[in-house]
């Protein structure tokens, strides 16, 4: 695997491979020294155009656990603030010869564009409302860890589907792993054609949520009210909040965070025994280590030589790099 841009690029086998790799890193986290030398001497840039806590922190920590050198750039306070274009920023960063660029952007397709402009591997850490593949992978890992194979499992994704990159990546990933996925939410927040496009069921109420093995609640963004997607938070909560009444004893609860307590989830269930929310965060680190490992050290496929602006020499230092198999 050269880049991780979208779940839609992956096969079930590739998802399983990343999850197996993540499992192998679980043991590392138990040791006193939590670092492995795998990516020593490699440089990873994280470039975040949107605020993020867990994704940016866990990618950074994952890179450090693998002994890579990390540069973390946030839009605020960087040259982006001064109006530099994405293309120019990427060209600048590429000049430092990073092995990977992890990018979060408010625009769909940003990671894919970046992949065309740099010879570094690119990891999509969320692009607009399009995809958030590392989130879906960590969620898949969390479910495999807890439930075993997902074939035939019923998974309901509930909430603001329209504005959720998590929903798009998770529906695809869970489907690839054999689960039967249903999305549920207000009709105003489920795009026309979503079920057909992503191969899932669409429901506008939670009447049959009792059949779900897993309930995955999405964050309800408060600004949706002003855009009249939903009339009020109270009405939303009444119809779609997951609380003790809606969560059966054998059902598991997930949420990508950050949670609006009392909106999409009742406070009691967040910390309840069914909740996998903390496990998701913990596994996020393992899965992001696995992603960086698979991209930078885990493949036997030759690395295609790409150069930007036709000027750069794409051949680079590669004595100890298992990922560069192509002569200059």
Which residues of this chain interact with other proteins, rule CB under 8 A?
8, 85-87, 105, 107-110, 112-113, 127-131, 163-165, 168, 191-194, 196-198
- Pick 196 or 313: Cβ nearer other proteins: 196
- Pick 129 or 153: Cβ nearer other proteins: 129
How far apart, in whole angstroms, are the C-alpha atoms of residue 9 and residue 16?
14
- Pick 56 or 164: Cβ nearer other proteins: 164
Task: Provide the minimum distance between the beta carbon of 113 and other proteins in the complex, in angstroms, as a whole number.
Answer: 6
Task: Provide the minimum distance between the beta carbon of 168 and other proteins in the complex, in angstroms, as a whole number.
Answer: 5
For residues 113 and 92, the answer to whether their CB atoms sit within 8 Å is: no
Task: Provide the minimum distance between the beta carbon of 263 and other proteins in the complex, in angstroms, as a whole number.
Answer: 22
The residues that bridge with 155 in the sheet, in sequence order, are 181, 214
Task: Provide the minimum distance between the beta carbon of 243 and other proteins in the complex, in angstroms, as a whole number.
Answer: 28
Token representation of residue 227: 């855009």
How far apart, in whole angstroms, are the C-alpha atoms of residue 81 and residue 9?
32
φ/ψ region of 221 (left if φ > 0, alpha if ψ in -120 to 50, else beta) reads beta
For residues 126 and 50, the answer to whether their CB atoms sit within 8 Å is: yes
Q: Could you tell me the end-to-end alpha-carbon distance of the chain, in angstroms, rounded to an integer? A: 20
- Pick 248 or 312: Cβ nearer other proteins: 312
Task: Provide the minimum distance between the beta carbon of 53 and other proteins in the complex, in angstroms, as a whole number.
Answer: 22
- Pick 227 or 235: Cβ nearer other proteins: 227
Token representation of residue 219: 């964050």
Task: Provide the minimum distance between the beta carbon of 183 and other proteins in the complex, in angstroms, as a whole number.
Answer: 11
- Pick 166 or 242: Cβ nearer other proteins: 166
Task: Provide the minimum distance between the beta carbon of 32 and other proteins in the complex, in angstroms, as a whole number.
Answer: 43
Edge-to-edge strand list for the sheet holding 100-105: 69-74, 43-48, 100-105, 121-127
Task: Provide the minimum distance between the beta carbon of 191 and other proteins in the complex, in angstroms, as a whole number.
Answer: 4
DSSP-derived letter for residue 242 is B
DSSP string for 94-127: HTT--SEEEEEESSTTHHHHHHHH-SSEEEEEEE
- Pick 60 or 127: Cβ nearer other proteins: 127
The residues that bridge with 101 in the sheet, in sequence order, are 45, 122
For residues 93 and 45, the answer to whether their CB atoms sit within 8 Å is: yes
Please tell me whether residue 278 adopts helix, strand or coil conformation: helix
- Pick 42 or 168: Cβ nearer other proteins: 168
């Amino acid at each position: 695997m050269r880049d991780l841009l979208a779940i839609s690029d992956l096969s079930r086998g590739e998802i399983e491979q990343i999850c197996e790799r993540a499992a192998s890193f679980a043991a590392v986290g138990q040791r006193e020294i939590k670092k492995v030398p795998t990516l020593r001497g490699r440089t990873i840039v994280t470039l975040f155009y949107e605020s993020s806590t867990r994704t940016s922190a866990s990618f950074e920590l994952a890179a450090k656990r693998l002994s890579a050198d990390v540069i973390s750039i946030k839009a605020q306070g960087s040259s982006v603030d001064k109006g530099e274009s994405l293309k120019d920023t990427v060209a600048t960063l590429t000049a430092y010869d990073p092995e990977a660029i992890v990018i979060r952007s408010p625009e769909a397709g940003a990671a894919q564009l970046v992949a065309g402009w740099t010879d570094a591997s690119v990891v999509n850490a969320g692009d607009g409302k399009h995809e958030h593949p590392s989130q879906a992978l960590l969620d898949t890992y969390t479910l495999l860890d807890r439930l075993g194979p997902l074939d035939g499992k019923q998974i309901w994704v509930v909430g603001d589907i329209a504005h959720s990159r998590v929903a798009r990546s998770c529906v695809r990933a869970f489907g690839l792993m054999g689960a039967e996925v249903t999305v549920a939410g207000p009709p105003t927040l489920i795009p026309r054609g979503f079920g057909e496009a992503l191969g899932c069921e669409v429901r506008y109420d939670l009447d049959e949520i009792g059949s779900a093995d897993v309930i995955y609640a999405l964050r309800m963004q408060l600004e949706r009210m002003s855009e009249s997607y939903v009339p009020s938070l109270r009405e939303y909560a009444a119809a779609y909040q997951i609380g003790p009444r809606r969560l059966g004893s054998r059902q598991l609860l997930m949420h990508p965070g950050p949670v609006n307590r009392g909106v999409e989830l009742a406070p009691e269930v967040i910390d309840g025994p069914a909740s996998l929310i903390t496990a998701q965060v913990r596994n996020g680190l393992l899965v992001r280590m696995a992603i960086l490992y698979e991209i930078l050290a885990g493949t036997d496929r030759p690395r295609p030589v790409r150069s930007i602006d036709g000027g750069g020499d794409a051949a680079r230092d590669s004595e100890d790099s298992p990922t560069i198999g192509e002569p200059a």
